[in-house]
Amino acid sequence: MRIIAAFSDCDLPFMKRLLYAASLLFALLPPAFATPPATFTEAKVIAKQKIYLDQANSPMGELYCGCKWTWVGKSGGRIDPASCGYETRKLQSRAERTEWEHIVPAWTFGHQRQCWQNGGREACVDKDPVFRAMEADLFNLYPSVGEVNGDRSNFNYGMVAGVAPQYGQCTTKVDFQQKAAEPRNEVKGLVARTTFYMFDRYQLSMSRQQQQLLMAWDKQYPVTAWEKERDRRIAAVMGHSNPFVTGERHWTPGYKPAGAGAVVASSGRGASAATKPAQAGTTVQGAVLGNRNSQVYHLASGCPGYAQVSAKNQVAFESEAAAQAAGYRKAGNCK
């Protein structure tokens, strides 16, 4: 009753100013992180709802041709070919719909996992938490014209010369003989920085030729306003940004991937890389590995003790700074 009386004694203009100030304060607070998607199916739904819902009619359009689309169902869409001058090359049914393109193909990251050798994509989805994390990583997903997505297949990105326009006014080109795809200029920088992110976060190996091309695209096509906004939206779900978009990291010749995402995925969905220990009987793969008994951390490169920490004592960290913040010190025998 006293609180009500106090508010009743306040003049109305003052209360309006107070409420307005409170609304500004809440607007400045960072959004609460949601749980990252656990499967590719879940990721597609979240990508529609949280990342691209308002992008169907944006000037940027879908990934490869800039086409606008109409959402259909939980995560699908129908392409508007007139919006981008799209002409079907061969597959009409796929040309009419959007599909979720993995900028780094599942085939590419899957072939660097043992599960793929033991049964292909199905075995990886069933048995490998790191593969599932890669397949559902929102940074790597973008709606695209289904036909171009199918034509790109698992080809690496490259410069395609001597190929006539294949999709009307769409400038993305696919060289089926050389097995290469060159996306339109508007997304070359985004494609490069997304690829860097995937190879860095999941500790993948990239050919020198591919690195050189993507480093050139990264430099030639700087981060755009939309790419920054996309990064912000995805970070609100995934719990981290793409450091190659924010400028925290830069891919350079000889760059060594950190592999922080492989640690998190191996440790369990939603786990913090700084606090979640590996399950007994397993060995984690990542940049920094702590020993909970000795409170000493080891680096994957240059520290002999990295492979000697028993599974029950392992604590994975995303960085040395994270390990030090948790009270760990670097092993004395690290080079």
Q: Which tens digit of pLDDT belongs to each residue from 237-268?
A: 999 999 999 999 999 999 999 888 876 666 55
Rounded to whole angstroms, the Cα distance separating 1 from 242 reads: 51
pLDDT in tens, 272-294: 333 333 333 333 345 688 888 88
Q: pTM for this structure?
A: 0.71
Rounded to whole angstroms, the Cα distance separating 19 from 16 reads: 5
Rounded to whole angstroms, the Cα distance separating 176 from 105 reads: 16
Rounded to whole angstroms, the Cα distance separating 147 from 125 reads: 25
CB atoms within 10 A of CB 229: 12
Structure-model confidence comparison of residues 109 and 13, the more confident one? 109
Rounded to whole angstroms, the Cα distance separating 71 from 76 reads: 6
Whether 269 has a pLDDT exceeding 80, the answer reads no
Amino acid type, 52: Y
CB atoms within 10 A of CB 86: 24
Tell which residue, 334, 330, 305, 335, has the closest CA to residue 319: 330
Longest Cα–Cα distance of the chain, Å, equals 80
Tell which residue, 236, 281, 309, 258, has the closest CA to residue 36: 236
pLDDT in tens, 151-194: 999 999 999 999 999 999 999 999 999 999 999 999 999 999 99
Whether 99 has a pLDDT exceeding 50, the answer reads yes
Q: Where are the alpha helices (DSSP H) in 153-207?
A: 185-201
